[in-house]
C-alpha cells in the first residue's frame, strides 16, 4: 500500500476510535453515576407530590412531549402514497392479450377441429374466464367482425390501463369496461369486447411504503416545536397531585430537578468506565481496525454496550432474583451474529465486569460472562433458525452451572433460593435467545446490516435477478459461478466472510444483463459487435455495466453489502484492451475515459473478488499448460492490482495475498486441468487478445 494512503486510513481510524471511546465513556458514566445525584425535588412521573410546587420565575420553553404529540397526529393524518401507473405493466398486459388473441385466431382457423373442440381449446386458456355464450360467439363470429372485436379490445385495454388502478380497484374498473366500448359495435361484438377485456385488466399502481414514510416524516417535520409559557408563581404541582410527564418536563425546564454531586463516588465510577472502554477501543484499534470503517457496526456496538449498561443499572441494584434475569447473553449473541464473535467475547467480558461492579457481586460477573461467551461461541455461524435456540440452551446450562458453583461454596444451603436462581438462570437463557432472534431481524434491517439469512436467501439460484442473468447473459452467469467458487475459497483461507464473498460474486456482473452481447462470453462464434465501434465507445459500453449493475441491484433491493461488490470488483482500474487499441489507431486518448469509476475495494471480500475475477478470466483465456504457467499468471494479476494501488483500502496483508494466491492455484488446477503445451503456444501470461484473455485491469468478459 502507498504510505500516504496508509497514513490517511490510520488517522481516520484513530479519530473514529477516539470518538467511540469518548461517547461510550460519557454515556456509560452518566448511566452509572445517575443514582448518586440526589434531586432537589425527588419526584418521578407517576409519583404523588408531597407539597405545592410553584414556578420561581417566568419561563418559556419547548415542550418535547406536546411537540411529539402534534407530530404524531400529523403523521397519522397522512394518507398512503401510491406510485403512478406503470406503463410497463400496461404493455405487458396488452402484449399478453395480443398473444391470446393470436392463439384464438389460430383456433378459429383450425379446419380439423369441431365447434366443441374449438370451444374447449378457448376455455382451456390459462387465466382467462369466459361464459359459454362468449366462447361460442368467439369461435363462430365472422372474420371481419372478430377483427373489430380484437382491435376494440386492445383499444379499450390501452385506454383503461393508462389510468392508476390499485389492487382494490380492479373489480370496480372491470365493471366500468362497458363505458369504454365504441357504440358503433353491435351488442354481440360489445359483449365480446367487454368479456375479453376484463381478463387483462390488472393493477398498475402500487403502494409505495418509502414515499409514504417520507410523507409522514415530512409532515412530522413540518410541525413547529410547541412552546409553553409558565408564569412566575404558577403552580406546577399541587400537594397530592400525581406527577404527569408534562409536569415533570416543566420541573426540568425550571431547573427544579437540579442535583448535588458527591465527587469521590462519581470519580470511582468514571475511572472504572474509562478502564473498561479503554480496553475495548485499544483492542479494536490494534486487532480489528477494519471494524472502524463500518459505521453501522460501530453504531450497533455502541448501542448494545450502552443499552446493556442501562439495563443492568435498572435490573440489578436492590434486586436478588431479578438481577439474574438480566439477559447479557442477548448482547453477546447479537454481536456474534451481526458483527464478530471475537469482539462479542471481549465485549461480554467487559460488560460482565460492569455487571458485577453495579451489583457488587463476583457471582453476577461470572454469571454474565459464562452465559454470554458460551452462547456467542454457539452463534459463530448461523445457518438455521434453531441456532438461536441452541445458543439459548447453552446459555441456560452455563447460567445454571455458575449458580450451582457459588451455591455449593456457601456454608448455609438455601434449597428454595437455589432452585429459584436455577430457574431464573434457565429462564435467562430462553429470554436471551428470544430477544436475540427478535433483535437480529429488527437491528439488521434498521442498521442495514446484511444478516446470514439474507445472504442465504440471495444465494438461491431462483432469485429473480440471478434468473434474469442466466436467461439474458448465460456466459456471464457461468463466469460468476466460477469466480464465486474461487473467491469463496480464498475468503475462507484468510478468515474473511466466505458467504458474503460468494453471494457478492454471484451479483457482481449483473449489469451485463442490459447489453449482454457486448461481452465476449455472451457472444456467438465469430461474432463481435465491437468490430463496428470505435475503441472509446466500446470501452464506455463495457465500463457502463458497473452503473447498470448498481441500478439493477437497487431495483431488486440488494443490500448495500452486496451492491459494494459491483463497482469495487473493478475499482478504478483501466480498461486496457480498448485503451491500447485506441492508441494503436492513433486516436486522441484520455486515460480517464478508459477507467472504471470505482471506488477501490474497501473490504477484504470485495478485494478478493477483484482478484478472483481477473485470475479466472486470465486463466480461462490463456489456458496454461503447466502449473508453473498458472502460478505465473495468478501472481502477475495480484502484483498488478497491488502495484496499481487497487488494494490500498482493503486491509489485505502480504500474508493474506500469499494465501489467496495459493488457494487460487489449488482451485484452478482442479478445474482447468493443465495439459502439455507445445512450443508454438508460448506467450506472455496476461496477454490480451481479441478472442479472450486478461489485461492489467479487466477480464476478457468485460472487454466484449
pLDDT at 526: 60
Eight-class DSSP state of 145: H
Is residue 119 over pLDDT 50? yes
How confident is the model over 381-396, as pLDDT tens digits? 666 667 788 888 999 9
- Calculate ∠ Cα 151-155-156, nearest 5°: 120
Contact between 33 and 199 (Cβ < 8 Å): no
- Segment 519-540 shows an average pLDDT of 75
CATH topology of domain 455-703: Hypothetical protein af1432 (1.10.3210)
* Spatial CA neighbour of 337 closest among 421, 433, 416: 433
CA atoms within 13 A on the CB side of 117: 9
Domain boundaries along the sequence of the chain: 87-198, 294-449, 455-703
Residue-by-residue DSSP string for 51-119: S-EE-SS-EEEE-HHHHHHHHHHHHHTPPPPBPPP-HHHHHHHHHHHHHHHHHHHHHHT-TTS-HHHHH
Task: Assign 278 a pLDDT band (cuts: 50, 70, 90).
Answer: very high
How confident is the model over 624-682, as pLDDT tens digits? 778 888 889 999 999 999 888 888 888 888 899 999 999 998 888 776 654 444 454 44
Which of 38-47, 113-122, 460-469 bottoms out in mean pLDDT, i.e. has the lowest? 38-47
Question: Phi and psi for 504 in degrees, rounded to 5?
Answer: -60, -35
CATH architecture label of 294-449? Orthogonal Bundle (1.10)
Is residue 598 over pLDDT 90? no
- More confident site: 512 or 624: 512
- Residues 466 and 505: their CA atoms lie apart, in Å, by 11
CATH topology identical between 294-449 and 455-703: no
Is residue 617 over pLDDT 90? no
Contact between 139 and 122 (Cβ < 8 Å): yes
- Residues 354 and 364: their CA atoms lie apart, in Å, by 10
Task: Assign 297 a pLDDT band (cuts: 50, 70, 90).
Answer: confident
pLDDT at 692: 33
- Segment 489-506 shows an average pLDDT of 90
The helix (H) or strand (E) run that includes residue 472 is: helix 464-472
Question: Is this model's pTM higher than 0.75 or not?
Answer: no
pLDDT at 2: 47
Is residue 67 over pLDDT 70? yes
- Residues 43 and 61: their CA atoms lie apart, in Å, by 20
The helix (H) or strand (E) run that includes residue 228 is: strand 227-230
Task: Assign 56 a pLDDT band (cuts: 50, 70, 90).
Answer: confident
Contact between 564 and 603 (Cβ < 8 Å): yes
Burial (CB count within 10 angstroms: exposed 0-12, middle 13-18, buried 19+), residue 302: middle
How confident is the model over 433-445, as pLDDT tens digits? 888 888 887 776 6
- Residues 98 and 199: their CA atoms lie apart, in Å, by 12
Give the percent of the chain with pLDDT over 70.
Answer: 88
- Segment 468-485 shows an average pLDDT of 91
Question: Phi and psi for 700 in degrees, rounded to 5?
Answer: -65, -30
Amino acid at each position: 500500500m502507498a504510505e500516504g494512503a496508509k497514513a490517511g486510513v490510520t488517522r481516520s481510524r484513530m479519530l473514529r476510535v477516539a470518538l467511540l471511546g469518548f461517547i461510550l465513556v460519557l454515556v456509560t458514566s452518566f448511566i452509572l453515576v445517575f443514582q448518586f445525584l440526589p434531586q432537589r425535588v425527588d419526584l418521578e412521573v407517576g409519583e404523588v407530590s408531597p407539597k405545592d410546587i410553584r414556578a420561581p420565575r417566568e419561563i418559556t420553553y419547548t415542550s418535547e412531549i406536546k411537540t411529539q404529540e402534534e407530530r404524531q397526529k400529523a403523521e397519522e393524518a397522512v394518507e398512503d402514497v401510491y406510485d403512478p401507473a406503470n406503463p410497463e405493466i400496461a404493455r405487458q398486459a396488452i402484449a399478453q392479450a395480443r398473444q391470446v388473441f393470436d392463439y384464438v385466431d389460430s383456433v378459429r382457423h383450425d379446419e380439423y377441429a369441431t365447434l366443441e373442440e374449438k370451444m374447449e381449446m378457448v376455455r382451456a386458456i390459462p387465466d382467462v374466464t369466459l361464459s359459454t355464450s362468449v366462447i361460442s360467439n368467439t369461435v363462430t363470429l365472422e372474420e371481419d367482425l372478430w377483427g373489430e372485436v380484437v382491435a376494440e379490445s386492445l383499444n379499450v385495454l390501452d385506454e383503461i390501463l393508462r389510468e392508476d388502478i390499485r389492487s382494490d380497484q380492479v373489480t370496480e374498473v372491470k365493471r366500468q369496461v362497458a363505458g369504454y366500448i365504441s357504440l358503433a359495435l353491435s351488442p354481440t361484438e360489445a359483449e365480446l369486447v367487454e368479456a375479453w377485456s376484463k381478463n387483462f385488466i390488472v393493477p398498475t399502481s402500487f403502494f409505495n411504503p418509502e414515499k409514504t414514510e417520507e410523507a409522514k416524516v415530512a409532515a412530522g417535520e413540518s410541525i413547529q416545536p410547541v412552546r409553553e409559557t409558565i408564569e412566575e408563581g404558577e403552580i406546577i404541582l399541587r400537594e397530592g397531585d400525581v406527577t404527569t410527564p408534562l409536569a415533570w418536563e416543566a420541573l426540568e425546564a425550571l431547573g427544579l430537578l437540579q442535583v448535588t454531586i458527591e465527587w469521590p463516588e462519581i470519580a470511582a465510577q468514571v475511572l472504572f468506565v474509562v478502564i473498561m472502554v479503554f480496553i475495548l477501543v485499544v483492542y479494536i484499534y490494534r486487532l480489528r481496525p477494519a471494524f472502524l470503517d463500518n459505521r453501522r457496526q460501530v453504531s450497533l456496538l455502541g448501542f448494545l454496550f450502552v443499552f446493556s449498561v442501562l439495563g443492568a443499572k435498572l435490573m440489578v441494584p436492590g434486586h436478588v432474583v431479578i438481577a439474574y434475569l438480566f439477559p447479557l447473553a442477548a448482547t453477546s449473541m447479537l454481536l456474534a451474529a451481526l458483527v464478530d464473535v471475537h469482539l462479542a467475547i471481549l465485549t461480554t467480558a467487559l460488560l460482565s465486569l460492569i455487571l458485577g461492579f453495579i451489583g457488587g457481586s463476583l457471582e453476577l460477573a461470572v454469571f454474565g460472562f459464562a452465559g454470554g461467551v458460551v452462547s456467542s461461541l454457539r452463534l459463530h455461524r448461523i445457518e438455521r433458525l434453531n441456532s438461536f435456540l441452541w445458543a439459548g440452551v447453552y446459555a441456560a446450562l452455563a447460567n445454571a452451572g455458575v449458580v450451582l458453583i457459588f451455591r455449593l461454596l456457601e456454608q448455609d444451603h438455601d434449597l428454595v433460593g437455589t432452585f429459584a436462581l436455577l430457574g431464573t438462570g434457565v429462564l435467562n437463557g430462553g429470554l436471551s435467545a428470544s430477544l436475540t432472534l427478535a433483535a437480529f431481524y429488527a437491528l439488521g434491517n434498521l442498521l442495514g446490516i446484511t444478516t446470514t439469512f439474507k445472504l442465504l436467501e440471495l444465494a438461491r439460484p431462483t432469485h429473480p435477478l440471478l434468473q434474469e442473468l442466466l436467461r439474458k447473459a448465460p456466459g456471464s452467469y457461468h463466469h460468476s459461478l466460477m469466480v464465486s467458487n474461487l473467491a469463496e475459497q480464498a475468503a475462507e483461507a484468510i478468515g474473511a466472510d466466505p458467504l458474503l464473498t460468494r453471494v457478492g460474486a454471484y451479483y457482481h456482473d449483473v449489469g451485463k444483463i442490459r447489453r449482454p452481447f457486448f461481452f465476449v462470453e455472451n457472444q456467438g462464434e465469430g461474432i463481435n459487435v465491437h468490430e463496428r465501434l470505435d475503441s472509446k465507445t466500446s470501452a464506455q459500453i463495457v465500463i457502463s455495466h458497473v452503473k447498470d449493475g448498481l441500478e439493477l441491484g437497487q431495483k431488486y433491493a440488494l443490500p448495500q453489502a452486496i451492491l459494494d461488490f459491483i463497482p469495487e470488483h473493478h475499482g478504478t482500474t483501466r480498461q486496457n484492451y480498448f485503451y491500447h487499441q485506441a492508441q494503436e489507431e492513433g486516436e486522441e486518448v484520455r486515460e480517464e475515459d478508459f477507467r472504471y469509476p470505482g471506488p477501490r475495494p474497501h473490504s477484504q471480500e470485495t478485494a478478493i473478488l477483484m482478484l478472483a475475477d481477473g485470475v479466472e478470466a486470465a486463466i480461462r483465456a490463456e489456458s496454461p499448460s503447466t502449473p508453473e504457467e498458472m502460478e505465473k499468471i495468478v501472481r502477475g494479476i495480484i502484483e498488478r492490482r497491488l502495484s496499481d494501488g487497487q488494494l490500498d483500502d482493503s486491509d489485505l496483508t502480504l500474508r493474506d495475498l500469499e494465501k489467496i494466491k495459493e488457494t487460487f492455484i489449488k482451485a484452478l488446477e482442479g478445474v482447468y486441468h493443465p495439459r502439455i503445451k507445445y512450443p508454438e503456444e508460448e506467450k506472455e501470461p496476461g496477454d490480451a487478445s481479441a478472442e479472450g484473455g486478461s489485461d492489467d485491469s479487466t477480464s476478457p468478459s468485460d472487454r466484449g
